[in-house]
Amino acid sequence: MRNALAIANKELRGYFASPIGWVICGLFSLMFGYFFYAYVEVFLKNSMQSQMGNGGPMNINILLIRPLLSNATVIILFMLPSITMRTYSEEKRSGTIELLLTSPITDWEIIIGKFLGAMGLYCTLLLATMAHMAILFAYGRPEFRPLIAGYIGLVLLGGCFVSMGLFVSSLTKNQVIAGVGTFIAGLLFWVINWLADSASPTTSAILSYLSITEHFDDFAKGVIDTKHVIFYLSFITFGLFLTSKSVDTERWKG
């Protein structure tokens, strides 16, 4: 575990030693800020109308935080490939992978380390969005616990993208291919339930089960359902498992 933490630490420092980490943080905050502003505007307009008497009481959790978090997942879909794209491909291209693979550490320690490193940057992004939430708490009275559930959902969802990104990155030396590949794979899991309506009941159930976003809905509502937690955790584990197989295959190929 100490080795994994050493790798995680190296990865995280790597993001911020180069412009990558800062640019990702900046752009993510910019987009999230815009989403936040837009939803607050809509919310204000609606609450004004509701005060005029043609609407029920406004719930800030349901009408603002829930759609905001759901839509934030779009930014995550676009941003996370840029976090994971260099994890393995850059090490393979520059030859530093030889250092890692000839050090007295296991493949799993490297994978876990890289996963934690990328998650570290991702959680930093989420932490920055807490500032917006603090504004809501300062001027309104949103419920705290659904918000926590939403963030747990975001962390798990991001974990899926990161583990997928690690796998795609371990397949190629080329960062651009790794980035685009991860994005396309993520998008596929995003839209996979589109076909659910027209498919046979069994296929339909499978397709909607595989959809990354469908499992997020409950989290956005503030519900932590073990069903979804298990889905995300198995998705992450499977992604990391594929990565370990890919690294191992690469060894045999040389």
Partner 1 sequence: MIEVQHLTKRYGSFTAVDDISFRVEPGEILGFLGPNGAGKTTTMRMLTGYMPATDGKAIVAGYDVFAKPIDAKARTGYLPETPPLYPDMTVREYLTFVAKIKMPKKTTAADRKTRVEQIMKRTFVDDMANRHCGRLSKGYKQRVGLAQALIHDPEVLILDEPTAGLDPKQIIETRDLIRSLAGNHTVVLSTHILPEVAQTCARVVIINKGKVVAVDTPDNLTRQLRGASSLYVQVDVSGGDAHDTLVGVPGVTKVGVADRHDGVVGYELHAEQQRDVRRDVARAIVDRGMGLLEMRPMRMSLEDIFLQLTTQETKDGAGAPGANDVPPAEQAAAMVAEGDPNA
With respect to partner 1, which residue has the nearer C-beta, 49 or 106? 106
Q: Contact between 101 and partner 1 (CB under 8 A)?
A: yes
Nearest CB to partner 1, comparing residues 57 and 95: 95
**Size of the residue set binding partner 1 (CB under 8 A):** 27
10 binds partner 1 (CB under 8 A): yes
Q: How far apart are CA 117 and CA 14, in angstroms?
A: 9
Give the DSSP per-residue string, 207-222.
Answer: HHHH-TTTTHHHHHHT
> Smallest distance from the beta carbon of 28 to partner 1, in angstroms?
21
Q: Which is nearer to partner 1, 60 or 91 (CB)?
A: 91
Using an 8 Å Cβ cutoff, are 114 and 166 in contact? yes
Q: Between 92 and 215, name the residue whose CB sits nearer to partner 1.
A: 92
Beta carbons of 114 and 7 less than 8 angstroms apart:
yes
Q: Does 14 bind partner 1 (CB under 8 A)?
A: yes
Query: Rule CB under 8 A: is residue 180 a binding residue for partner 1?
Result: no
DSSP secondary structure string for all residues of 173-235: S-HHHHHHHHHHHHHHHHHGGGGGGTS-HHHHHHHHHH-TTTTHHHHHHT---HHHHHHHHHH
CB under 8 A: which stretch of 56-64, 114-122, 215-223, 246-254 binds partner 1?
A: 246-254
Q: Residue from 59, 103, 203, 234 that binds partner 1 (CB under 8 A)?
A: 103
Per-residue DSSP letter, 57: -
Residues in the chain, overall count: 254
141/253 with CB nearer partner 1: 253
50 within 8 A of 58, measured Cβ to Cβ: yes
Please give the sequence-ordered ranges of beta strands (E in DSSP) within the chain, or none if there are none: none
Residue 23 makes contact with partner 1 by CB under 8 A = no
Q: Shortest distance, CB of residue 95 to partner 1, whole angstroms?
A: 5
Four-point Cα dihedral 13, 16, 19, 24, nearest 10 = 120
Which of 59, 106, 203, 249 binds partner 1 (CB under 8 A)? It is: 106
Let me know: does 105 contact 10? Beta carbons within 8 Å: no
Binding mask 116-145 for partner 1 (x = CB under 8 A): ------------------------------
Residues of this chain that bind partner 1 (CB under 8 A): 2-3, 6-7, 9-10, 13-14, 17-18, 94-106, 251-254
